[in-house]
Amino acid sequence: MNTTALLERFSLDGRVALITGASGGIGSALARGLAEAGAHVAISGRDVGKLHTLADEITRSNGTASCFPSDMGEPDAPARLAGDVLTHYKRVDILVNCVGMNRRMPIGEVTPAVYDTIMTTNLRSVFFLTQAIAPHIAANGGGKIINIGSLTSSLALQHVSIYGMSKSALAQLTKTMAVEWALANIQVNCLCPGFIATELTAPLWNDPTRNRWMLDRIPMKRAGQPADLVGMLLVLASSASDYITGQSIYVDGGFTVGSQW
C-alpha cells in the first residue's frame, strides 16, 4: 500500500460528523481533529459563546463547522438536536457522544436530583440521540459511532459513584449497539480518556495531594492533554477501523495497565 492510499484510510473528507459536548476542553479538541481530517463538523454544547469561538477557529483553519447549541440534560434535547442537524446537513456519517458532567460527592450525599441530572446528561441523552441518528447513518451505507467513556468505565474512584455508573453503563451500551448495528455497517466503540488536563479538571491537578497521587499511578508520569485523544478518535472515525467494533479503548498514559513500584 502506498503512502497516499494509506493516508486516505484516515481521511474524513466529505463526511458529516456530529459531536456533543464540543464546548468542553476534550470535545473542542476532538472537533478540531475531525475538521482537520476533512469532516464537516456539527458542534453541539451548552456554551454558545465557546461554540461560536470554536467554529470560527475551525473556519480560519480552512475547516467547516456549524453550531447547534443544546443542553443534553433536557429530556427532549436529543430529538431536537438530531432534527436540527439532519435538517441542516441531510445526513450524519459520524456521531461522537462526548457530552458528560460530574459532581463529586460521597454516596451518602447524592440526592435524587443529582442522580437524575448526571444520568440524564451522561447516559439517557447518548441513548436517545444515538437512537435517532443511527438509522440515518445506516441509510447512507454505514458509518461510525464513538462514545466517550472514562477511566470509571472500568475502575471505581471515590466520590464519583453516579458518574462511574453512567460511564460503565456507556461501555456496555457500546457493546450492544455494536452487535445490533453490525450488519448495517456501523462500527460503535468507546474511547476512554484517562486523567486529562482541562479547565474542568484543573482543581484536581492544582491540588498537590491529588496531583501526586495521579502522577504516581500514571506510568508515563504526565497529565494527558485533549490533543492526545485525537489520534485514536480519527482511527475510530475513519475506515481504518472498519473491523473494530464494540471495544473500549483507553487513552490514559498506562493508568489502567498498572504502576511502577
Contact between 244 and 189 under an 8 Å Cβ cutoff? The reply is yes
CA geometry: angle at 25 spanning 40 and 206, to 5°? 170
Question: In whole angstroms, what is the distance from residue 3 CA to residue 114 CA?
Answer: 51
Residues 180/127, Cβ–Cβ less than 8 Å: no
Asked if 243 is an active-site residue, the reply is no
Strand 143-148 with 248-251, pairing:
unpaired
CA atoms of 20 and 68, how far apart (whole Å):
9
Q: Which residue in 89, 115, 163, 250 is the catalytic one?
A: 163
DSSP structural state of residue 227: G
What backbone torsions phi and psi does residue 96 show, to the nearest 5 degrees?
Answer: -115, 110
Dist CA 255 CA 192 (whole Å) = 11
Rounded Cα gap, residues 118 and 123, in angstroms: 8
Alpha-carbon 195 to chain mean position: 14
Active site residues: 163
